[in-house]
């Protein structure tokens, strides 16, 4: 995951591009009374949309609905709720999603098939539909294109997240991209278990939007792996209004989208459940990019590597153990491992004294050189801490 | 993993079968002064042997040595040390293993190629060879065929294990099998990260021994998954002396070996790092046994499932999330999930109130019915607890 050169701001999100209104309200879905329903509306003139969904074979009702809704590459609105995933809820759960989309369509005077639905929270429970439907009314009444409305939208989707996560930029050529993301647990590849809505006022065809989104998520959201758990609800949506009148080059748009997605993913990493270390695992010298990703992901996901890092322990032997399990071409006696700039393992054996690598800070950079080829990749992860265990042993009950 | 009908005892191990002597001594490899070197000797008359090693592509020096030593299906002795894995130690590490085997050969007046070597402990550090070699002398002097010698042998291999783990049986037809195992972390499939030595006085050909051992490990050691981490050193060895003069049927021997291995694996599960719950995940109704194992393993390995169980939380939605990520054929709306006898998920949706499933005890039984076929499999695991994080964040430093 390379760092983009374009500057982003985290003070605004989906309402930065022209043509969008948003809202986030407390609908009463969460027992706590916290905000729990978000609405994002594309007022046009265009309505191109693209999406990427979870690879989990158990898909929540809103994922099944939204896959259909976006199949024509057009969306006018997205409604999202926290307080319940609406997953493993059977035909009734799907009807609840359908009703929610119908309600949004009714209040906005659009078609239900142009409304995507996202849900997050506990799996296996029906949503309180009275609260959801009245929440849609409430949200529609306060839709606005202001920074505050964007922040409200980013806030009402949160579950165990500790703060809203937004990112936006205005490109020198005159178009803007903004977005928000939620996610703190079940963070794994092929949609880093989360919900993300991105807006843009660029003029772009649905086909280009789809192509660029898929290429971008592959190297941003898909390269975060907090706990190896891919959720039933992961969704990334991008909506284009065309309201800027600017038609960017493919390269400019791809670079800008990458900058926003990369920044959102870094915020997901920093707000992951129980995180005390932000770890990047870079593999270079791989025979292929797939191999580089496989090795980096296997190391990033290994419980013994992650607990060692929680303890600030430069235990490179566990990294060697982990990468030996990766489904990739490796030769143990060629491998170098560098921890925060200190070469601790050279040609598969001990190099500098491991204690020379200082891992006491929040950031840990792991560099693995396989010395087999030219391909490289980076996967982001976090440590496995007491707080991770604590948060996840007490979530549903 | 089916439970065997043959009764085993845990009060003795490798010295139960006739023809074997063993010893366990404090050689000074561990700084603590605890026992750290084990010797097991087959006095014959036969010397058939078989082995299964780690699938990790990063293999420790003793694994590389022992693979060669056992390639002719004959072994006369095994030397094992704790206090250092001798992994990622380069050509010098391999020479250390070679020297250790030569030393054993010298004191026992046998050939070094009939000596297997096993090591466990920290990866990436050379062994203190003076201590290892003098330890071999010390162990050879106290070799005995007593129960105490067997227990000493089972004790000197321990690392973070809290107690020695042995199992033995005498078959009604007159042959015996005994063994020990060590392992507490890095416990995962395809050799459940551990060292295990098994002895028998049955008369058996090397080819039969090899065939039965491989079939047995596949459904015992390989079906324990504590943390998904397969180590660099995993080894299971079985040595046959023929001293009973009894040549069992293939079925009798296979059943007896299964009984001992199954019991050793249950002890590994019960002594895993930080364990507060002993969990069995059974998948039935799968299209194939491979699918059943894949689904059971994916659930057994999932951090969110394991933390929920640590919290005694019957959060079946996480089980559905996890199994949706398994590389296997599933249909979400056909799946039933039963927790400790309570059907909490039926046809992919909520059944009984989850709170009706009492997970407050130490044993948790997960039963998943895919309703797609006839195949079934069980994988054993443990919870993900604070103690697991604590032990593994402070192990090397």
Q: Nearest by CB to A124, from B307, B317, B390: name it.
A: B317
The Cα of A57 is separated from the nearest Cα of chain B by a number of Å equal to 4
A182 backbone dihedrals φ, ψ, rounded to 5°: -130, 150
Q: Which architecture characterizes domain B20-270 according to CATH?
A: 4-Layer Sandwich (3.60)
For A278-393, the fitting CATH number among 3.40.50.2300, 3.10.20.340, 3.30.70.520, 3.40.50.300 is: 3.10.20.340
Among B88, B93, B310, the strongest candidate for a mutation testing the A interface, having the largest count of A CBs within 10 A, is B88
- For B237, phi and psi rounded to 5 degrees? -120, 140
Determine which one of A120, A193, A230, A382 is catalytic: A193
Looking at the partner chain, which of B90, B304, B311 has a beta carbon nearest the beta carbon of A394?
Answer: B311
- From chain B, pick out residues whose CB is under 8 angstroms from the CB of A83: none
Contact (CB<8Å) B318/A384: no
pLDDT digits (tens, 9 = 90+) for B255-314: 999 999 999 988 988 888 788 999 999 999 999 999 999 999 999 988 888 888 998 999
Which of A310-314, A369-373, B61-65, B221-225 has the least mean pLDDT? Answer: B221-225
Q: Is residue B148 predicted with pLDDT exceeding 70? A: yes
Q: Does residue A326 have a pLDDT over 60?
A: yes
| Closest Cα in chain B, distance from residue A244 (Å) | 41
Cα–chain center distance at A177: 16
Across the range A211-236, mean pLDDT stands at 86
Residue (of A226, A245, A154, A128) closest to A185 by Cα position: A226
Q: State whether B388 and A123 contact (CB < 8 Å).
A: no
Tell me the per-residue pLDDT of B204-246, one tens digit each, with 9 for 90 and over: 999 999 999 999 998 898 888 776 677 888 899 999 999 999 9
Furthest CA-CA distance within chain A: 67
Would you call B89 and A350 a contact, using CB atoms and an 8 Å cutoff?
Answer: yes
Q: Residue A387: CA atoms inside 13 Å, Cβ hemisphere, count? A: 13
Question: Could you tell me the residue ranges of all domains in chain A?
Answer: 20-270, 278-393
Interface contact flag, B56 A394, Cβ < 8 Å: no
Mean pLDDT of chain A: 91
Query: Is residue A193 part of an annotated ligand binding site?
Result: yes
All residues of chain B having their beta carbon less than 8 Å from the beta carbon of residue A302 are 228-229
Q: Is the Cβ–Cβ distance between B352 and A156 less than 8 Å?
A: no
Which of B55, B58, B310 faces A332 most closely, judged by CB atoms? B58
Q: Return the pLDDT at A1.
A: 42
Work out the burial of residue A252: count CB atoms within 10 Å of its CB; fewer than 13 is exposed, 13-18 middle, 19 or more buried. Answer: middle
Active site annotation includes A193 = yes
Residues of A in contact with B320 (CB under 8 A): 58, 87-88, 123-124, 232
Task: Report the alpha-carbon distance of residue B88 to residue A323 in Å, rounded.
Answer: 12
Residue to substitute from B393, B394, B396, B397, interface A, most A β-carbons within 10 A: B393
CB contacts, 8 Å: B302 with chain A = 228-229
Per CB-CB distance under 8 Å, the chain B contacts of A90 are: 333, 347-349
Find out whether A159 is annotated in a ligand binding site: yes
Indicate if ipTM > 0.95: no
Report in angstroms the alpha-carbon separations of A283 from A280, A291, A384, B140.
10, 9, 21, 46
Chain B closest-CA separation from residue A26 CA (Å): 25
Q: How many CB atoms lie within 10 A of CB B99?
A: 17
pLDDT tier at A185 (50, 70, 90 boundaries)?
Answer: low
CA distance B305 to chain A (A): 9
Question: Mind telling me the catalytic residues of B?
Answer: 193
């Amino acid at each position: 995951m390379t760092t983009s050169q374009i500057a982003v701001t985290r003070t605004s999100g989906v309402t930065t591009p022209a043509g969008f209104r948003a809202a986030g309200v407390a609908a009463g879905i969460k027992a706590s009374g916290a905000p729990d329903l978000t609405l994002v509306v594309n007022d046009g003139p265009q309505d191109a949309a693209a999406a990427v969904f979870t690879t989990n074979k158990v898909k929540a009702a809103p994922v099944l609905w939204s896959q259909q809704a976006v199949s024509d590459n057009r969306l006018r609105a997205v409604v999202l709720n926290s307080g319940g995933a609406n997953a493993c809820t059977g035909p009734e759960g799907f009807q609840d999603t359908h009703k929610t989309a119908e309600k949004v369509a009714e209040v906005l005077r659009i078609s239900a098939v142009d409304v995507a639905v996202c849900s997050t929270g506990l799996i296996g429970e029906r949503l309180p539909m009275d609260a959801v439907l009245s929440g849609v009314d409430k949200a529609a009444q306060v839709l606005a294109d202001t920074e505050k409305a964007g922040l409200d939208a980013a806030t009402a989707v949160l579950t165990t997240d500790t703060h809203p996560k937004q990112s936006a930029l205005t490109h020198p050529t005159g178009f803007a991209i903004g977005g928000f993301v939620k996610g703190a647990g079940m963070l794994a590849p092929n949609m880093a278990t989360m919900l993300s809505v991105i807006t843009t006022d660029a003029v772009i065809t649905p086909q280009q939007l789809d192509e660029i989104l898929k290429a971008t998520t592959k190297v941003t959201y898909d390269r975060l792996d907090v706990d190896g758990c891919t959720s039933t609800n992961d969704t990334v949506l991008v909506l284009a209004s065309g309201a800027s009148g600017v038609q960017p080059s493919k390269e400019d748009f791809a670079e800008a989208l990458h900058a926003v997605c990369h920044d959102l993913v870094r915020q997901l990493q920093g707000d992951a459940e129980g995180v005390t270390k932000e770890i990047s695992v870079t593999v270079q010298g791989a025979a292929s990019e797939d191999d580089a990703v496989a090795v980096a992901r296997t190391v990033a996901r290994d419980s013994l590597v992650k607990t060692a890092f929680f303890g600030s322990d430069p235990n490179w032997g566990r990294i060697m153990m982990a990468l030996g399990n990766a489904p990739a071409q490796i030769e143990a006696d060629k491998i170098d491992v560098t921890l925060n700039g200190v070469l601790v393992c050279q040609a598969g054996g001990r190099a500098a004294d491991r204690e020379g690598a200082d891992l006491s800070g929040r950031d840990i950079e792991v560099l693995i050189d396989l010395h087999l080829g030219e391909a490289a990749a980076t996967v982001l992860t976090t440590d496995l801490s007491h707080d991770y265990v604590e948060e996840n042993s007490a979530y549903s009950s």
